[in-house]
C-alpha cells in the first residue's frame, strides 16, 4: 500500500510520552483510581501479511549475500510497517 516517492519511507509507531504517562498516574493517585498494566510481547513479530500484499526489503548492511542488489520478500510483518499492526 505504500507508494514510492510519496509515503514509502514514512513509518509511524504510536508511543506514549513519559509526561503523559506521569500525568495519568498523578490523576490516578489523586482520585484513588485503580491502575492495571499489560504488555504485548512481540505483537509485531507474529503478524502475518495478507496474500495480496507483496513487500520487499533491501538486505541489511553486513549481510552476506550472492549479489549486492538483492531484495527479499517478507512473509511476516516488521515493526514500523504500515501493514504491521
pTM exceeding the 0.95 threshold for the entire prediction: no
pLDDT digit string, tens, across residues 25-54: 999 999 999 988 876 665 556 667 777 778
**What does the DSSP assignment read for 25-83?**
HHHHHHTT--------TTTTTTPBPPTT---EEEPPTT---S-TT-EEE-SB--TT-TT
Domain layout of the chain by residue ranges: 1-85
pLDDT at 15: 77
Percent of the chain with pLDDT over 90: 18
Mean pLDDT to the nearest integer, 2-24: 77
Amino acid at each position: 500500500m505504500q507508494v514510492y516517492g510519496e509515503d514509502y519511507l514514512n513509518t509511524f509507531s504510536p508511543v506514549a510520552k513519559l509526561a503523559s504517562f506521569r500525568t495519568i498516574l498523578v490523576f490516578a493517585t489523586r482520585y484513588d483510581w485503580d491502575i492495571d498494566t499489560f504488555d504485548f510481547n512481540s505483537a509485531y513479530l507474529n503478524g502475518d501479511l495478507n496474500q495480496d500484499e507483496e513487500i520487499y526489503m533491501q538486505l541489511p548492511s553486513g549481510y552476506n549475500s550472492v549479489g549486492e542488489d538483492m531484495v527479499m520478500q517478507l512473509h511476516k510483518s516488521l515493526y514500523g510497517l504500515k501493514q504491521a499492526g
